[in-house]
Amino acid sequence: MPLKLHGKEYMTVAERINLLLSQGEVTRFYSLNTDIVEMNDAYCVIKATLTFKGTETDLHFTGHAMEEKGNKGVNKTSHVENCETSAIGRALAAAGFHGSEYASADELVEALNKQSDNFATPSKVINPSQSNPESSKGSVESSASGFKGGYYDFLQRCSSEKVRVGEAQYRSTLKQFSLEKANQIDKNDTGVQARVIEEFTRLKEVTHDLIFGLEVSYLCSKSDKANKLVDDLDVGLDSIKTLDAKRDLLDKLIIATT
């Protein structure tokens, strides 16, 4: 069962895997891969990629984690395995498979064991810009489909992407960078800005068949009014196929959550 702490619910990585496998046709064709980004005598960094096979294009969700080799606990003998578990958990969370919190119960327990005050600090989640130290103002335009690099333009682009990809995917993407809001990024850090936009451009629109259900579930989790609105529908979500119908429902749910 999910771990509950201070009114929040944290699912273990194993529970997130079970949730993934319980989705039937939605996740019937998927792959989950991990890659070591960096490893030395002191620590390791691992990236996990969850891929859903689509009829036209594939959907990719990523998660990063870093673990230091310790003198006690699980990291004394298995810091690489622990790191891989955390990365997998975060990739699953990026795809919407989590409890009420993005961090997994496994991460929370490990953080509490270390007597940490913050279970989701940047030391636990690698900043994706670090894997590309050559990121610069000049690379922003080429890697972000026309994004010019000005801070105002960056925030405007994030706002438009939020409308396109939906609240769930938008927030999950920012979580990969340990962010709650896009304006938390330093205005001069064009490398991170470029990577954020690059992640957004990889995402499908919120009306995509796979994403639509995740977005509806997310909005319902934020509001009892929205949840009741879906419960009162005469048809199931699978029956809502047209773009107009999807957008109409999403608009009503967004209003219900405000």
- Three-state secondary structure string covering 100-138: CCCCCHHHHHHHHHCCCCCCCCCCCCCCHHHHCCCCCHH
Q: Provide mean pLDDT across the span 68-93.
A: 84
Domain end residue (candidates: 94, 126, 158) = 126
Q: Are residues 10 and 109 in the same domain?
A: yes
Domain end residue (candidates: 126, 159, 191) = 126
Tell me how many domains the chain contains: 2
Q: Are residues 120 and 225 in the same domain?
A: no
Q: Are residues 119 and 240 in the same domain?
A: no
Domain end residue (candidates: 62, 94, 126) = 126
Q: pLDDT confidence of 37, banded at 50, 70, 90?
A: very high
- Asked, for residue 119, whether it belongs to a domain, the answer is yes
- Asked, for residue 73, whether it belongs to a domain, the answer is yes
| Per-residue pLDDT reduced to its tens digit, 127-151 | 433 333 333 333 333 333 444 557 8
- Asked, for residue 145, whether it belongs to a domain, the answer is no
Report which of residues 69 and 117 the model is more confident about: 69
Burial group, residue 97, by CB count within 10 angstroms (0-12, 13-18, 19+): buried
| pTM (two decimals) | 0.44
| Domain containing residue 251 | 209-257
